[in-house]
Amino acid sequence: MEVGGDKRKENNLQNVNRIQKVIGFIGAGNMAKAIGEGLIKSGAVDASQIYISAPTQRNIGTWMELGAHTSDNNGFVVKNADVIILAMKPQYLDAALAETSDSLGDWLPNTKLFISVLGGIRIDTLEEKLKKIVIRPRVIRAMPNTPMMVQEGCSAFCRSISATDEDVKITHQIFSAGGRCEMIPESLMNAVSAVSGSGPAFIFVMMEALADGAVKMGIPRASSIELVAQTVLGSAKMVLESGQHPGQLKDSVCSPGGSSICGINVLERAGVRGVLMDAIEATVKRSEEMGKLS
Ligand SMILES: NC(=O)c1ccc[n+]([C@@H]2O[C@H](COP(=O)([O-])OP(=O)(O)OC[C@H]3O[C@@H](n4cnc5c(N)ncnc54)[C@H](OP(=O)(O)O)[C@@H]3O)[C@@H](O)[C@H]2O)c1
């Protein structure tokens, strides 16, 4: 996770090995799109190497246009793919696996890798549920984020005991095609989910609010959004590339007696740091609850 910005992108493009496996997605929504677009745009896979299923046509059209193999039958994906990414909402996991099992008719040997991106669902639960369709399932639990669509994603994953070193390698290849990726212990997955999985939603809210402030001060909406977006992009790049602590970088913007420190004063009085920390904690707690419900 050490290289930043354009340099990392350049390295990524050089390092993206073509993935020779067939990649399946059960669920065709936002997360499948983010991972799939990362894979296709980086050149790691062709759309024709992707098999994808969803119960309705709501999201399937985009995939058909790209040239992926689509179906409303989850068994079609499991039969054809080497690596199957579970990308439905956690509450639909049981239904999705029941449909798969009905369509397959018999247990599969453990020749396929299952990668779950479902928030909160632990590896032991996934293994238990997957035993309905596979003998000794090989499972990886991953947490990507939507910026994978623009190859600036940030993903973490953990492996099960049954996953092989080759499974770890292919998982790394899949997720680093869309940005940064690292393996972590499962005990940190819910925390990582809150920071980088849900994080884009928090950042978008802050960006919208900053743009509203700019509009309030008379800047047209489109320019306000562009100013904010470039500011967030540049600030993130400075943190990644300078190696300086964000506090140091903040200090370098705030001149003594200047205008920036007056804005900071308002943020601090409103408790912005505590609120953001509470947001992370609330998100982790909800992931833990979701894990217990499944
Ligand atoms: N969105 C994020 O930023 C993010 C980040 C990290 C992890 N995740 C995780 O990614 C997963 C998917 O989230 P999302 O935002 O992509 O949701 P989404 O946009 O609502 O997409 C869910 C997909 O699952 C499909 N689906 C529903 N029931 C199904 C079934 N029985 N069999 C097969 N497919 C089924 C839906 O079908 P239709 O197309 O027919 O509706 C849809 O294509 C969640 O578990 C979430 O925790 C999301």
Distance from Cα 10 to the centre of ligand 1, integer Å: 31
| Interatomic CA distance for residues 263 and 286, integer angstroms | 32
Residue 124 lies in a domain: yes
CA 158–ligand 1 middle distance (angstroms)? 20
Task: Please give the C-alpha separations between residue 106 and each of 102, 115, 135, 204, 224, in angstroms, as whole numbers.
Answer: 8, 21, 10, 45, 57
Domain co-membership, 103 together with 16:
yes
Structural domain ending residue among the three candidates 160, 187, 214: 187
* β-bridge partners, 84: 24, 114
Q: Give the structural domain span for 261.
A: 199-293
110 vs 51, residue with greater confidence: 51
Check which CATH number belongs to the domain holding 224 and give it. Answer: 1.10.3730.10
pLDDT tens figures, 59-74 = 999 999 999 999 999 9
pLDDT at 6 over 70: no
Q: Which of 155, 187, 219 is the last residue of a domain?
A: 187
CATH of the domain at 70: 3.40.50.720
- Are 123 and 210 contained in the same domain? no
Answer with the residue of higher pLDDT: 104 or 51: 51
**The whole model's pTM is what?**
0.90
Q: Is residue 146 part of a domain?
A: yes
Query: Quick one: pLDDT band at residue 103, thresholds 50, 70, 90?
Result: confident
The protein residue with its alpha carbon nearest to ligand 1, atom 19, reads 29
Task: Measure 276 CA to ligand 1 centroid, in angstroms.
Answer: 26
Please tell me the total count of domains within the chain. 2
Question: Pocket around ligand 1: residues whose beta carbon is below 6 Å from it?
Answer: 26-32, 53-56, 58-59, 74, 87-90, 92, 95-96, 99, 117-119, 143-146, 197
Buried b (16+ CB within 10 A) or exposed e, 35-69: bbbbbbebebbebebbbbbbbeeebbebbeebebb
Q: pLDDT for 15-39, tens place per residue? A: 557 999 999 999 999 999 999 988 9
Pick the atom of ligand 1 nearest to 32's CA.
Answer: 16
Give 15 Cα–ligand 1 centroid separation in angstroms.
29
In terms of domains, do 21 and 165 share one? yes
**Three-class SS of residue 70?**
strand
Rounded average pLDDT over 81-88: 97
